[in-house]
Chain A
Amino acid sequence: MLSFLLRRIAAVLPVLLVVSLVVFLILRLAPGDPAAAIAGNNATNEDIAQIRTQLGLDSSIPVQYGIWIGRVLQGDLGYSFYLSKPVTELIAQRIEPTLALAVGTVILAVLIAVPLGTLAAWRLGGWLDRLLSGFSVAGFSIPVFVIGYLLIYLFAIRLEWLPVQGYKSLLGPAGAGPWAWMRQLILPWMTLAMIYVALIARVTRASVSEALTEDYIRTARAKGLTERAVLLHHALVNAAVPIVTVIGIGIALLIGGVVVTETVFAIPGLGSLTVDAVLNRDFPVIQGLVLLFSVSYVMVNLLVDLSYLFLDPRIRY
């Protein structure tokens, strides 16, 4: 297993190198000039040229890439063109809200979806199963921002239970405190969890219902085990591999969902940082974020693969 782990971690490096090169090239070849965006409406061509030189954008693309990747290898992701701050500092400032949103969403989705899907599989065709099917269709088809606005209208505007927008850090001297921190995240969690509940519950239902038709389930029931024990200790455990896989995929897909949710709830996370950077052609920030997202994606996949070892003893690497 150790050699598998080392091999997988070693495989991350070429992946990141390719990602960095592709992103770098796409950004440089795409239309749009950060210098023109920075210079503003009043600028002349001369102003733009001056800014291009200052940002180092007048060097050739291979030279620019060489300088950038050299710095990345030393842990320096560069400086934002706009904010004159290190990209690492910007990411550090924004990572907490995004992590809070993403981790909370996954936990909420798993806590709701897995029991729901398991129960639906247990009573296939029953009211809960039909309810889940309806909910899944809604969860997949209603856009995240519509769900967000509806929840804001109900819980923030009508009932005044929860705040409309914003994020205050849990940590630090100006931290919001645990309850205030949670209050501001409840609506974003609910909004973003909707689609993942639909996704995970559907897969859980399918996986558990298939497991329930297996011989070992009949044997377990014949042994006189309770239905709860059959479901939890036999069906769910054996159905866990596809469920964990879909949760892993869900975490990767969260990146897109987070952007919309952060916009609707004005949460200053990595999603809004990405959107701003793309709109302003802030190349160093985009490159840094794509690298971060790539590392996260690869790590989540690795963790999912490793979890198979614990969920299914037959799997060996």
Chain B
Amino acid sequence: MKRRFLLTAATVLGLSWLSPAMAQTPPNKVFRFVPHANLTVLDPIWTTAYVTRNHAYMIYDTLFSEDAKGAIKPQMVDSYQVSKDELTWTFKLRAGLEFHDGKPVTSTDVVASLKRWATRDAMGGILTTFITAYETPDANTFKIVLNQPCGIMLDSLGKASSNVPFIMPARIAATPGAEQIKEHIGSGPFVFKADEFKPGALVVYTRNAKYKSRSEAPSGVAGGHPVNFDRVEWVIIRDPQTQFNALKAGEVDMIEQPSFEQYETLKKTEGVKVEDFFPAGLQFIMRFNHLHAPFNNVKIRQAAMVAMGQQAYINTQVGVPELGRLCRSMYPCGTAYGDEDTGYFTGVANPAKAKQMLQEAGYDGTPVLLMRPTDLASIAKLPLVAKQQLEAAGFKVDFQQMDWATLLARRAKKDSPANGGWSAFLTAWTAGDISTPLTMQMFNAKGQNGWFGWQDEPRLEYLKNRFARTVDPKEKKKIASEIQRVAFETATHAPLGQYQSPSAMRNNVSGVLQTPGIPVMWNIKKN
């Protein structure tokens, strides 16, 4: 008897050793996703980091959202009206919206969230200049009263990329925009499991059983948000080879951004497929420092742009021909304002012409201090191409290699290149961030108060202001094109090619939505 008891006990103990997670969620109800970066900051208003924005889409909801065609559709909003004089916008929230803490979503929460967002977001800041007052006549209704008609109300409230006006409880949104929020409670389709969050390792979300999904079909980040998993785990794996191995072994279901080097291998790997959920893709750019020589001379900036050939950037950095696309437009091709009427800028390197332009501009040999972030694989090769193309056109290049954190600090310095400043850097933007004149940071031409590079160009600011006030879409398109014309004329920055960054997933994964660059976890299924 005693022996039998011992054997039984040993067996039970042994089995519990072998399968300690027997009581856990069934495998097809868990989705394991490898995000493109480690999630460190959880406040989507405090930072513009894409990984934080993507995390926020899991747990927060938005008033409006962008569909797959780029149209802004109501999300938390049920209906809205604009007064005849176009000065009062009245929004009604959908009934029954609830935060994860069980409290209802009210107009007070919405106004507090919008106010906090507007302190951090550039477009929100522009919208604020139109606003006279927010009003909350009842718990489900809020009004925005304007001082003049505004053409960017819906574009701002339905802004899909950082910073997105996510709605949080008023007590949390009362946190100043310069401080991080401490609680992470939204009304979105997933609930953030703060107790299971291990920065650098694991982010866990569970299904929000009380989520009120819209009845429309999912489209982009708009429409219904049907959730097919009880639990979503973001598994942080830094090493691209380990990501690949984990996907191959079925330990994870999807990699957001596998490295380009693995693209061909992934396509040939059994049990794995590659899909692009982000049709507009990303764009490489080179930004000039307009404050200091040599790029404080517009003619020299134009010469540099003529020296740039997009194909070389795509070949070198992406390396997969089918993922690259030549696009002369500063707004990404395929988006609403994409326009390839770009004057002298052809996107094809012309060193002879650039050399001639340099001579005409009176270039005195001042070196271009070009910064290269060696640790950021996604853009690290770009400056190597830029160096070669600039030198071929007769520029002297002072090539400085550093890590990304150092580059970020250095590009904020307004000193001359000889005193710790810089002349040019290269980076990549997702299409969503540069698809309108108001979100394109390189069009921020407020001089010393502008974006890095500090261009001072009143014409650009004037046209942006007109764009914000214009309601008619055709007129807006015209103004957007005019802004781009001025941007090329003044050489704000050089667009260096567009590219796709597809995701890799197991074959049994379906329903991945096409979005403006945001990997959303709703609608996805695992068979």
Cα distance A69–B193 in the bound complex, in angstroms: 34
For residue B449, CB closer than 8 A to chain A, the reply is yes
Nearest neighbor of A44 in chain B, beta-carbon distance: B451
Are B41 and A157 in contact (CB-based, < 8 A)? no
Please determine whether B408 and A33 come into contact, CB atoms closer than 8 angstroms: yes
Q: Which of A175-183, A218-226, A235-243, A245-253 contacts B (4 or more CB under 8 A)?
A: A175-183
How many of chain B's residues have a CB under 8 angstroms from any CB in A? 59
Known: A180-B18, A276-B200. 19 other contacts (CB 8 A): A32-B403, A36-B408, A36-B409, A37-B405, A48-B412, A82-B41, A83-B41, A84-B180, A177-B19, A179-B18, A263-B239, A264-B239, A264-B242, A266-B239, A266-B242, A268-B200, A268-B201, A268-B202, A281-B409
CB-defined A-B contacts under 8 Å, sample of 9: A44-B444, A90-B199, A93-B198, A93-B199, A152-B242, A163-B249, A164-B246, A166-B235, A175-B20
A141 interfacial contact with B, CB 8 Å: no
Chain A residues contacting B120 (CB-CB under 8 Å) are 47
Residues of A within 8 A of B162 (CB): 40, 42
Residues of B at the A interface (CB closer than 8 Å) are 16-21, 38, 40-41, 47-49, 120, 122, 162-163, 178-180, 182, 196, 198-202, 235-239, 241-242, 245-246, 248-249, 251, 375, 402-406, 408-412, 414, 427, 429, 433, 441, 444, 449-452
User: Which B residues are CB-close (under 8 A) to A177?
Assistant: 16-21
Complex Cα–Cα for A94 and B402 (A): 28
Instruction: Tell me, yes or no, whether A312 is within 8 Å of chain B by CB.
Output: no
The answer to the question of A23 belonging to the interface, with a C-beta cut-off of 8 Å to chain B, is: no
Known: A48-B412, A264-B242. A281 touches B405 (CB 8 A): yes
Q: Which of A111-161 contact B (CB under 8 A)?
A: 149, 152-153, 156-157, 160
Query: B198, A38: Cβ atoms under 8 Å?
Result: no
Minimum distance in angstroms from B238 CB to a CB of chain A: 6
Bitwise, A189-220 to B at CB < 8 A (1) or not (0) is: 00000000000000000000000000000000
CB under 8 Å from chain B, chain A span 35-67: 36-48, 50-51, 54
Q: Say how far A43's CB is from chain B's closest CB, in angstroms.
A: 7
Contacts known (A44-B450, A84-B180, A266-B238); A164 close to B245, Cβ less than 8 A = yes
Contacts of A272 in B (CB 8 A): 200, 238
Inter-subunit contact A39/B242 (CB<8 Å): no
Assess the B427–A41 pair: CB atoms within 8 A.
yes
Q: How large is the interface on A (under 10, 10 to 19, 20 to 34, 35 or more residues)?
A: 35 or more
Complexed CA–CA distance, A265 and B404 (Å): 24
Which residues of A sit under 8 angstroms from B449, Cβ to Cβ? 44-46
Distance from B469 Cβ to chain A, minimum over Cβ atoms (Å)? 23
A313 contacts B by Cβ under 8 Å: no
Give bound CA distance, A27 to B444, whole Å: 32
The reply to whether A276 and B38 contact each other, CB–CB distance below 8 Å, is yes
Measured CB to CB, the residues of A under 8 A from B are 31-34, 36-48, 50-51, 54, 82-85, 90, 93-94, 149, 152-153, 156-157, 160, 163-167, 174-180, 263-266, 268, 272-273, 276, 279-281
Chain B nearest CB: distance from A158 CB in Å?
Answer: 10
Q: Measured between C-beta atoms, what is the minimum distance from B254 to chain A in Å?
A: 15
B441's nearest neighbour on chain A, judged by CB, is A42
Q: Report which of B20, B49, B180, B246 forms a contact with A165, defined as CB distance below 8 A.
A: B246
Taking CB atoms, residues of chain A closer than 8 Å to B19 are: 177
The CA-CA distance from A129 to B512 in the complex, in Å, is 58
CB-defined contacts of A180 to chain B, threshold 8 Å: 17-18, 20-21
> Please, how many angstroms separate the alpha-carbon atoms of A94 and B200 in the complex?
10
CA distance A280 to B375 in the complex (A): 12
Do A149 and B251 contact each other (CB < 8 Å), given the known contacts A42-B162, A177-B18? no
CA distance A264 to B245 in the complex (A): 10
B200: A residues at CB distance < 8 A: 94, 268, 272-273, 276
Q: How far is the CA of A41 from the CA of B16 in the complex (A)?
A: 48
Bound-state CA distance A177–B163 (Å) is 42
One of B198, B246, B408 near A37 (C-beta < 8 A): B408
CB distance from B498 to the nearest CB of A (A): 17
Q: Is the CB of A164 within 8 A of B249?
A: yes
Residue of B nearest to A280 (CB): B405
Whole-angstrom distance between the alpha carbons of A138 and B9 in the complex? 46
Smallest Cβ-Cβ distance to B202: which chain A residue: A268
- The residues of B that contact A45 with a CB separation of less than 8 Å are 412, 414, 449, 452
Q: Which residues of B contact A83 (CB under 8 A)?
A: 40-41, 199
The distance from the CB of A179 to the nearest CB of chain B, in whole angstroms, is 5
Q: Name the CB-closest residue of A to B163.
A: A42
Rounded to whole angstroms, the CA-CA distance of A160 and B250 in the bound complex is 11
Determine the distance from Cα of A85 to Cα of B40 in the docked complex, in whole angstroms: 10
Most chain B beta-carbon neighbours within 10 Å: one of A32, A48, A93: A32
Please tell me if the beta carbons of A157 and B248 are within 8 angstroms of each other in the complex.
yes
Q: Kindly identify which residue among A40, A156, A266, A279 contacts B403, using a CB–CB cutoff of 8 Å.
A: A279
Chain A hits for B40, CB < 8 A: 82-83, 276, 280
Nearest chain B residue, comparing its CB with the CB of A43: B48
Bound complex: CA of A264 vs CA of B241, how far in Å? 8
Which residue of B has the minimal Cβ distance to A268?
B201
Residues of chain A within 8 A (CB-CB) of B405 are 32-34, 36-37, 279-281
Contacts of A34 in B (CB 8 A): 405
Known: A165-B251, A272-B200. A50 touches B178 (CB 8 A): yes
Beta-carbon nearest neighbor of A93 in chain B = B198
